[in-house]
Amino acid sequence: MNKAIVLLIILSLACTFTHAVIGDSSVLSLTLVNQDPDPASAGGEVEVRIGIENSGGQPADNVVIELAPEYPFTLVPGQNATQVISRIDSYQEDEDMKIIKYKLKIDQSASKGTYELKVKQLLNGATITKTFLVDLKSKESVEVIHIDKTTLIPGQESDLMFIINNVGNAPLSDLSFRWENTDNAVLPVGSDNTRYIKNLDVGDSVEIQYSVIADTNMDPGLYKLNLYLNYDDPINGTPKQISTIAGVYIGGKTDFEVSFSDTSGTETSFSIANVGSNPAYSVTVSVPDQKGVRVTGSKSSIIGNLNNGDYTVASFELGGTIQTLNLQIAYTDTMGIRQTVMKDVELNNMNTSAFGSRTATSPTATESFNRTRTTQSNNSYIWGIAGIVIFIVAIVGYKYYKTRPIKKKT
């Protein structure tokens, strides 16, 4: 008999036997349908979908599928490693296959590569282990953290600092950082708004500092900075960009200048000037308790709002013996925060025994000048009268001399 015919008969008998065996049993197979995402990222999560097919002629009941994760995979909390399929019908294949899902956490230290994921199938006391391959990529991630000043004083040069952290597990190269705000409320001083970083290793950070000035014409409030970080993807070298925002507040506190203004009777007045860059709201000036100061009337004077550059006067009925007076100024800043500042006012020009009167024993320079001028005027007046009297006497005497009788000599 021809060998080819014999071989064909053997194969036919084998197929018939196999078909008979398969037809009388269940034949299960496991496949990795897909992973999401693909590739997965270190430090992230991945969902794997495993398909179970039955190519046998008998259904399979109570099929147990058990996941046996190893590094870098761990089950997400709440997931069960063991799943039971109550029934898989005969010849349940292809698009009719049973699909089960597992969610896995990936260790953040895992490097780029392909990792094994083992799945066990238990049926009728028999265990079959199948190994699947899951692809991972390196995690590139950077954080831009805005620190340092979050409040800028208008017109005042300030330092504005940003920190960039590489929180991924892949080094980054050729980074560029810039920021901008559309209304130009904040602008860099002495340089542009872009900085360059050659390399940033895993876990490293870099500080980027700018000198900036907030526009004095801007209304107090919160302004948005748009932040942009560009770098090359460590996997394929393609450019990538991260964009985020940070907020800075323009406004805040202010400052005051206080000086002695005037005194009338027992009332003493002080000039209060807002010399800062921001307006002050609900301003109140008070005389706190202090040694040597006596307040007869109210200890507080309500001023109201005081714009930057403006001034007003606060008056108090004071008495006592003191050279320097302590005044307290309370106000609400542009952020709505109540602030308090203390100011010392020199009272050297006032009588320290009674704030309401001048010292009588020591004339001022003006008073001395007035007294001297008055004395000189009085002296000039007296000499003028004397001159007129002498002139009149001289006239009368001359007339008398001319008209008197002349005696003849005998």
- Domains of the chain (ranges; CATH) run 3-137 (2.60.40.10), 142-250 (2.60.40.10), 256-346 (2.60.40.1670)
Task: Report the pLDDT value the prediction gives residue 358, as an integer from 0 to 100.
Answer: 38
pLDDT at 183: 85
Separation CA 41–CA 168 (nearest Å): 10
Q: In this prediction, what percent of the chain has a pLDDT beyond 90?
A: 43
Q: Is 57 helix (H, G, I), strand (E, B) or coil?
A: coil
The answer to whether 115 and 73 are in contact (CB under 8 A) is yes
Q: State the pLDDT at residue 39.
A: 87
* Whole-number pLDDT of residue 188: 92
Q: Which of 101-105, 240-244, 360-364 has the lowest mean pLDDT?
A: 360-364
Q: What angle do CA 25, 26, 30 make, to 5 degrees?
A: 155
Among candidate residues 172, 150, 156, the one with its CA nearest the CA of residue 213? 156
C-alpha span between 335 and 373 (Å, rounded): 59
Q: Which residue has the higher pLDDT, 196 or 350?
A: 196
What is the overall mean pLDDT for the chain?
81
Pick the most confident of 5-19, 131-145, 239-253: 239-253
Which of 166-170, 222-226, 249-253, 255-259 is most confident? 255-259
Distance CA 280, CA 273 (A): 11
pLDDT at 247 over 80: yes
Q: Which of 287, 276, 282, 268 is nearest to 328 (CA)?
A: 287
Q: Please report the pLDDT score of residue 397 as a whole number.
A: 62
Q: Where in 293-350 does DSSP place strands (E)?
A: 293-295, 300-306, 311-320, 324-332, 338-346
Structure-token pair, residue 327: 């005044």
pLDDT category at 10 given cuts 50, 70, 90 is low
121: number of Cβ within 10 Å: 20
Average pLDDT, stretch 41-69? Answer: 91
In the predicted structure, residue 17 carries a pLDDT above the cut 90: no
- Per-residue confidence (pLDDT) for residue 370, from 0 to 100: 43
Grade residue 12 by pLDDT with cuts at 50, 70 and 90: low
Of 57-61, 167-171, 223-227, the range with the lowest mean pLDDT is: 167-171
Confidence category of residue 389, pLDDT binned at 50, 70, 90: low
* Antiparallel, parallel or unpaired: β 113-123 and 28-36: unpaired
